[in-house]
């Protein structure tokens, strides 16, 4: 059970149960779809970007606990950040869930640190990064469907 | 107490298990409970020994060799073909073509029979429960030819609606291609009945036996089907080998599949004549070891016997169905009257992927996802299911492990 709790930490379960920033952003000026065919996850991310800053964003879709919580926590972490800051965070998050040698800097990551458990479950990495790839595609303005397969 | 008896009535599952070395291992510190047999089955020692013996002592390229080693390898390879022919009760070994897997068997038929027989405006009929490998080859063919793919629907229990299938059969139908047993629902289709319906209208039938062939005895002549595909790695045999049965009358008229060595009888730059059956459809050096390993696998299956296998798996399925039904919020996808060895389900409020990860930490291997049957998922309005699938070596104890692992899901997700 303790092993499982490393993956399914309370914060993740909470965001799975009640995802934040869930829905569609009506005055969005960027959007992208993400798809993980392996588990059938689909995400729709709508974003408002004003002068290089992500002023608001929402996500919608169905997915496993890891992908839903990751999307939810991402929206909280990224709101108010510049696109450059998001790109930096993206790279760091990517390493967090894949790189076993990375020591987790809780200060820099905040709540996102709860995803460090994902490294021990390689099959779940794609779930954790789907939302991030989708948002990256939205803010870099390429409108195609993102796939983590 | 009664559990042990269930396994022992006419089948000694413990001695079966001993023949599968992989099953003895632990995963994450727990004994492995392998319940992903619909994806691939584990291999008995007899198959492993056959493979290593072939490479250690019997390896040579086949056909045309004049030396003893090559002749022995040829004999072993062709002997395996005879074993598969007997296993499926084909009229002759020349009706058995070795392929890489079931997928290649279906593609072979689509690319040869299909390309020569299907024209613009013609139709190919499949069902809603097909594996992607029995959908996409026909889509490609239909796209190329301007033909139409027609799909017979299934009902809420995951059973084929036979009347609807019959209604699709018309003067433009060139082939019916249908799964014998569904990998995501467990449904067993009334294939003999379907063959009769199609043959009444002169339409040939391909049956995808990927799942059926390791759960029940298959007799292609009793089924009267025209093509039947199997895949070695689900028959307790090696990966990379499968077989296509084809009625020789049809195979003879079909153009070759791939060009190359072995499939010809003579080549000049002006003209090439093709080899006789089955070699016409086997270009290049085949998976010799795989074929011989598949021969050992069907020997093993025959020795254990499908009466014993089917009754053991039937009891296991009934037991598992009963136990899983007790779990709160569990819904089965696939409740056909005629089904075998597959338990596909969703747990309310928990994504199947999370279910799979939680039970994995208990050493239980199940599959989660769409199982290469996305139309089935769409039909039932779920993105994915969790699927436990049984084989001859599974036990009621393992079902109990699955059930207790599933109760952990509730502990985590509430
Ligand atoms: C019903 C069915 N058809 C076809 C296939 C394809 O088998 P293979 O991948 O071995 O070609 C499978 C297995 O995944 C299956 O279950």
CATH of domain B13-44+305-413: 3.90.1150.10
- Kindly determine whether residue A3 and residue B357, on different chains, have CB atoms separated by under 8 Å: no
Pocket test for ligand 1, best of B103, B128, B135 (most atoms within 8 A of CB): B103
- Residue B288 tokens read as 């010799």
Enumerate the domain spans of chain A: 2-141
CB B204 within 8 A of CB B223: no
CA angle B57, B63, B68 (to 5 degrees): 45
Q: What pLDDT does A106 receive?
A: 74
Q: Cβ-count burial of B35 within 10 angstroms (0-12 exposed, 13-18 middle, 19+ buried)?
A: buried
Question: What is the distance between the alpha carbons of residues B162 and A37, in angstroms, rounded to a whole number?
Answer: 31
> For tokens 């559990």, what's the residue?
B3
**Contact at CB, B408 and A4, closer than 8 angstroms:** yes
Judged by CB atoms within 8 Å, which residues 31-60 of A form the interface with B? 37-42
Q: What is the pLDDT of residue B146?
A: 98
Which residue in B279, B248, B250, B300 sits closest to B48, CA to CA? Answer: B300
Per-residue tens of pLDDT for chain B, all 414 residues: 334 444 445 689 999 999 999 999 999 899 999 999 999 999 999 999 999 999 999 999 999 889 999 999 999 999 999 999 999 999 999 999 999 999 999 999 999 999 999 999 999 999 999 999 999 999 999 999 999 999 999 999 999 999 999 999 999 999 999 999 999 999 999 999 999 999 999 999 999 999 999 999 999 999 999 999 999 999 999 999 999 999 999 999 999 999 998 898 999 999 889 999 999 999 999 999 999 999 999 999 999 999 999 999 999 999 999 999 999 999 999 999 999 999 999 999 999 999 999 999 999 999 999 999 999 999 999 989 999 999 999 999 999 999 999 999 999 998
Is B351 in contact with A65 (Cβ distance < 8 A)?
yes
Q: Which ligand 1 atom is at minimum distance from the Cα of B130?
A: 1
DSSP state of B270: S
For residue B250, the model assigns a pLDDT of 98
CA–CA separation, B153 vs B127, rounded Å? Answer: 6
Structure tokens at B65: 């060799």
CA of A104 to the centre of ligand 1 (A): 42
**Does B372 participate in catalysis according to the annotation?**
yes
pLDDT tens track for A28-76: 999 999 988 776 788 999 999 999 999 999 999 988 999 999 999 999 9
Entry field: residues in chain A: 149
**How many angstroms separate the CA atoms of B314 and B25, rounded?**
26
Overall size of chain B counted in residues: 414
Interchain pair A40, B28: CB under 8 A: no
Residue closest to B11 by CA, chosen among B398, B311, B389, B390: B311
- The CB density around residue B22, as the number of other CB atoms within 10 Å, is 11
Instruction: List the Cα angle B374/B388/B103 in 5-degree steps.
Output: 45
| B384 in contact with chain A, both atoms CB, cutoff 8 A | yes
Measured in angstroms, the CA of A26 and the nearest CA of chain B are apart by 26
CATH 3.40.640.10: which residues of chain B? 48-303
Let me know if B65 is exposed, middle or buried by CB neighbors in 10 A (0-12, 13-18, 19+).
Answer: middle
Closest Cα in chain A, distance from residue B98 (Å): 30
Contact between residue B352 and residue B380 where contact means Cβ atoms under 8 Å apart: no
Closest CA to B302 of B214, B395, B393, B413: B214
CA dihedral B106, B108, B111, B114 (to 10 degrees): -60
- Name, in order, each residue with C-beta under 8 angstroms of B265's C-beta and a sequence gap of 6 or more: B273, B274, B275, B276
A65·B350 Cβ contact <8 A: yes
Nearest-by-Cβ selection for A127 from B353, B411, B413: B353
**Token output for B39:** 């994806």
**Rounded to whole angstroms, how far apart are CA atoms B414 and A72?**
20
In chain B, what residues touch A149 (CB-CB under 8 Å)?
none
Tell which wins on pLDDT, A105 or B329: B329
Contacts of A40 in chain B (CB under 8 A): 369-370, 377, 383-384
pLDDT surpassing 80 at residue A97: yes
- Chain B residue with CA closest to A35: the answer is B383
Ligand 1 centre distance from Cα of residue B225 (Å): 19
Do B383 and A66 count as a contact with CB atoms less than 8 A apart?
A: no
CATH 3.90.1150.10 range(s) for chain B read 13-44+305-413
The three-class DSSP label of residue A72 is helix
DSSP-derived secondary structure letter, B62:
-
Q: What is chain A's mean pLDDT, rounded?
A: 89
* Residue of A85, A63, A76, A69 whose CA lies nearest to A139: A85
End-to-end CA distance of chain B: 32
CB contact under 8 A, A41 and B354: no
Q: Is the CB of residue B208 less than 8 Å from the CB of residue B373?
A: no
Which CATH class name applies to A2-141? Answer: alpha beta
Whether B28 contacts chain A with CB within 8 A? yes
Distance B386 CA to ligand 1 centre (A): 17
Integer CA distances (angstroms), B281 to A105, B6, B278, B284, in order = 60, 46, 6, 10
Cβ–Cβ contacts within 10 Å for residue B285, how many? 12
Asked if the C-beta of B351 comes within 8 angstroms of chain A's C-beta atoms, the answer is yes
Fold of B48-303: 3.40.640
Q: Residue B357: its chain A contacts at CB < 8 A? A: 7, 121, 123-124
CA distance to A55, B158, B189, B191, per residue, from B161 (Å): 53, 9, 10, 12
Q: Which pair of tokens denotes residue B390?
A: 């049984």
* Alpha carbon nearest to ligand 1 atom 12, residue: B210
* Separation of CA B95 and ligand 1 centre (Å): 21
Q: pTM of the prediction?
A: 0.93
Q: Answer whether A13 sits within 8 Å of B411, measured CB to CB.
A: no
Structure tokens at B298: 């069907």
B44 in A contact zone (CB under 8 Å): no
Name the active-site residue from B250, B323, B327, B372: B372
Asked if the bond preceding B342 is cis, omega within 30° of 0, the reply is no
**CA of B383 vs chain A CAs: smallest distance (Å):** 5
Distance, in angstroms, between A131 CA and closest chain B CA? 16
**Interface residue B267 vs chain A (CB under 8 A):** no
| ipTM above 0.95 for this complex | no
Quick check: B364 and B33 in contact, CB under 8 A?
A: yes
Using the atom order of ligand 1, give the atom closest to the CA of residue B102: 11
**Ligand 1, CB cutoff 6 Å, lining residues:** B 38, 101-103, 131, 133-134, 179, 183, 208, 210-211, 231, 372
* Cβ–Cβ contact A89 with B under 8 A: no
Distance from CA of B361 to the nearest CA of A (A): 7
């Amino acid at each position: 059970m303790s092993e499982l709790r490393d993956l399914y930490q309370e914060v993740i379960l909470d965001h799975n149960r009640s995802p934040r920033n869930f829905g569609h952003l009506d005055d969005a000026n960027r959007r992208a779809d993400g798809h993980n065919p392996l588990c059938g996850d689909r995400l729709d991310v709508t974003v408002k970007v004003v002068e290089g800053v992500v002023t608001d964003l929402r996500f919608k879709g169905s997915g496993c606990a890891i992908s839903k919580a990751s999307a939810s926590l991402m929206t909280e972490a990224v709101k108010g950040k510049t696109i450059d800051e998001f790109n930096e965070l993206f790279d760091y998050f990517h390493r967090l869930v894949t790189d076993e040698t990375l020591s987790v800097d809780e200060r820099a990551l905040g709540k996102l640190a709860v995803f460090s458990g994902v490294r021990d479950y390689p099959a779940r990495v794609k779930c954790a990064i789907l939302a991030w790839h989708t948002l990256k595609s939205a803010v870099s303005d390429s409108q195609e469907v993102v796939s983590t397969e | 107490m009664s559990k042990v008896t269930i396994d022992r009535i006419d089948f000694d599952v413990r001695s079966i298990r001993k023949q599968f070395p992989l099953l003895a291992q632990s995963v994450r510190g727990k004994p492995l409970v392998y319940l992903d047999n619909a994806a691939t089955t584990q291999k008995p020692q007899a198959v492993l020994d056959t493979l290593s013996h072939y490479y250690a002592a019997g390896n040579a390229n086949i056909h045309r060799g004049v030396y003893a080693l090559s002749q022995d390898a040829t004999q072993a390879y062709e002997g395996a073909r005879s074993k598969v022919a007997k296993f499926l009760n084909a009229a002759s070994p020349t009706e058995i073509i070795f392929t890489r897997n079931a997928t290649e068997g279906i593609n072979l038929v689509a690319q040869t029979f299909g390309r020569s027989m299907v024209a613009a405006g013609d139709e190919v009929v499949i069902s809603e429960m097909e594996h992607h490998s029995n959908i996409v080859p026909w889509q490609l063919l239909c796209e190329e030819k301007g033909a139409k793919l027609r799909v017979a629907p299934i009902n809420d229990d995951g059973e084929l609606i036979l009347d609807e299938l019959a209604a699709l059969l018309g003067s433009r139908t060139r082939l019916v291609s249908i799964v014998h047993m569904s990998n995501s629902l467990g449904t067993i289709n009334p294939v003999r009945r379907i063959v009769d319906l199609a043959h009444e209208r002169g339409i040939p039938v391909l049956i995808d036996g990927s799942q059926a062939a390791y759960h029940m005895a298959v007799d292609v002549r009793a089924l009267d089907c025209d093509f039947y595909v199997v895949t070695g790695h689900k028959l307790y045999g090696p990966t990379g080998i499968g077989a296509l049965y084809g009625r020789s009358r049809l195979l003879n008229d079909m153009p070759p599949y791939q060009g190359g060595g072995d499939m010809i009888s003579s080549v000049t730059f002006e003209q090439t004549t093709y080899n006789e059956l089955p070699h016409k459809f086997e270009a290049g050096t085949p998976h010799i070891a795989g074929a011989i390993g598949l021969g050992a696998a069907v020997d093993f299956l025959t020795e254990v016997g499908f009466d014993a296998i089917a009754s053991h798996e039937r009891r296991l399925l009934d037991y598992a169905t009963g136990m899983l039904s007790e779990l709160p919020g569990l819904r089965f996808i696939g409740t056909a009257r005629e089904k075998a060895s597959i338990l596909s389900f969703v747990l309310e409020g928990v994504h199947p992927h999370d279910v799979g990860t939680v039970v994995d930490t208990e050493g239980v291997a199940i599959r989660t996802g769409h199982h290469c049957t996305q139309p089935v998922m769409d039909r039932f309005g779920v993105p994915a299911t969790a699927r436990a699938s049984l084989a001859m070596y599974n036990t009621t104890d393992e079902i109990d492990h699955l059930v207790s692992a599933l109760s952990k899901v509730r502990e985590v997700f509430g």
